[in-house]
Amino acid sequence: MPASKSGAAILFAFGFPVLSLAADTSFEQLIADLDKVRTEHEVAGFALTVVSAQHGVKTATGGVADRESGRAVTADTLFRIGSITKTFNALAIMLLVEQGRVELKTPVRDIVSDAPFENPWAETHPVRVGHLLEHSSGLLDLTRDEFDHNRPFPTLEAAFAWRPKARIVQWPPGWHHVYSNANAGLAGLVIERVSGRGYADFITEQLLEPLGMTSASLVEDETTRRRLATGYDTDGKTPIPYWHMIFPPLGAINATPPEMAALVELFLGRGLVGNDRLLDAASIDRMEQPVSTLGARQGLRFGYGPGLDQALHGGFVWYGHGGDGDGYLSRFGYSREADAGYFLTINAFNHEAIHQMRDRVQDYLTRDLKRPQPAPVSVEADQLRRLTGIYVAITRRFEWQTTTQMDADRLEVVFENGTLYTRTAKGQRELIPVDAQLFRRESHAVATIAITEQEGDLYLQAEFGNYQRMANP
């Protein structure tokens, strides 16, 4: 196993054609930079796998998996991938869709008649399978008790029964995107009822094994305990006990970094891994496209599709997902323009560290590409003026967020000197039209904001929240 100048271990995997380290010395510098970030933030260890049509598949590791024993991170070290598990949930349901056993538009109650939630809009706006995967169901995230729970339940039904009144739909399903781990638990129930298999068994047999992820699992067994990196708190030194998540579908998968290359290859290959087709290309296309919110129905294609989020960096769109395993943080992403992707993980709850590492990895994978330059679009001034006004936040993620906090989260849309802006206490930013209802920021190459009308009201939707224009500002 070659070592970089930083001391981080570097190895090469199979899948895409592999070049020698000497042919790509910038990868060695990338690993040195990541190891420097790790050291500066006192993160115990990290691992990175990159997949590139041009440069092949490489895995590098640095630091220790366990501070007490001094055990080094290696390619065989297991990490908790956290909410990247939700990408596997979506893949599982897309497999069932391809088999004709369910549709994304199917109401959840048609599959799970005893689905553990209340929906005041059930007659006109049922919670559908696609809403669970795009987090547009209207359900809040877990309660504090559910997040803090650390004892395995025998079934998903038993887990939901522990806090039966925790899930009440807050707004019409299919209107707004708000991330909720309750959606993942319900998606697990859908997988079980449609397939007739237990959730962990289905994920293992239908996804992990076909992807060659033979070390991956969803349980804390003896093998997992022996190979798993110890998870640490923000300080990088205080160990955090293994988190037995109340709903395993929200983030329970443990995997090695090289194994995660298969997930990246699956998306870059439009459903192919090597020469084997796991999913149709159309299913991958659907996962990359949010369709169930007000903005998405207006044509906003940037956002959270089934099991896949989108982010912009350096002007490029990155598809992927983040993961928090309580003591571990992970990111996986891929760029169509670069024909490349990555899996990055650390064994510390340090968001700043992994954000800095992620940015360096994405810069590395797009280093030879020219930044996209969107063409200007002209929209009549009157069409823009009608969107002005004060908009107030109308959704929340957690039950402990108060109405007062929501009311304080507001912005103003103003039209000045022929230009539309959003204005907050922090300043103002230009809204550049992509069409009459879709907008982008100056640094963005695609539309990331929608202002759309529904039932006579105007709504602004973006990655930073969901807002409604006040009737009498």
Asked if 83 and 180 sit in the same domain, the reply is: yes
pLDDT at position 17 over 50: no
Asked if 353 and 403 sit in the same domain, the reply is: no
Could you tell me which residues come within 8 angstroms of residue 428 by beta carbon, excluding any fewer than 6 positions away?
414, 421, 422
Asked if 261 and 393 sit in the same domain, the reply is: no
- Amino acid identity, position 318: W
Asked if 196 and 237 sit in the same domain, the reply is: yes
Asked if 64 and 144 sit in the same domain, the reply is: yes
Collapsed DSSP state (helix, strand, coil) of residue 367: coil
* pLDDT confidence tier of residue 395, bands split at 50, 70 and 90: very high
Distance CA 458, CA 461 (A): 10
Q: Domain range holding 232? A: 1-372
- Amino acid identity, position 305: G
* pLDDT confidence tier of residue 20, bands split at 50, 70 and 90: very low
For residue range 31-51, list pLDDT tens digits in order: 999 999 999 999 999 999 999
Asked if 235 and 88 sit in the same domain, the reply is: yes
Overall average pLDDT of the 381-393 stretch: 96
Helix intervals (H) in 323-467: 351-365, 381-385, 403-408
For residue range 239-280, list pLDDT tens digits in order: 999 999 999 999 999 999 999 999 999 999 999 988 999 999
Asked if 426 and 280 sit in the same domain, the reply is: no
Asked if 387 and 356 sit in the same domain, the reply is: no
Which of the listed residues 345, 372, 399 is the one where a domain comes to its end? 372
Distance CA 349, CA 360 (A): 19
- 16-20, 26-30, 212-216, 314-318: which range is least confident on average? 16-20
Could you tell me which residues come within 8 angstroms of residue 472 by beta carbon, excluding any fewer than 6 positions away?
none
Which of the listed residues 312, 343, 372 is the one where a domain comes to its end? 372
Distance CA 179, CA 183 (A): 8
Q: What is the CATH number of the domain that holds 393?
A: 2.40.128
345 within 8 A of 78, measured Cβ to Cβ: no
- 9-13, 16-20, 208-212, 416-420: which range is least confident on average? 16-20
Q: List C-alpha distances in Å: 136 to 114, 124, 397, 416.
A: 20, 15, 11, 34
Domain count, the chain: 2
Asked if 256 and 339 sit in the same domain, the reply is: yes
pLDDT of residue 7: 55
Asked if 422 and 389 sit in the same domain, the reply is: yes
Distance CA 273, CA 261 (A): 10
Which of the listed residues 302, 337, 372 is the one where a domain comes to its end? 372
Asked if 65 and 204 sit in the same domain, the reply is: yes
DSSP 84: G
Q: What is the CATH number of the domain that holds 198?
A: 3.40.710.10
For residue range 127-176, list pLDDT tens digits in order: 999 999 999 999 999 999 999 999 999 999 999 999 988 999 999 999 99
- Amino acid identity, position 221: D
Per the DSSP assignment, residues forming a β-bridge with 273 are 276
Asked if 77 and 144 sit in the same domain, the reply is: yes
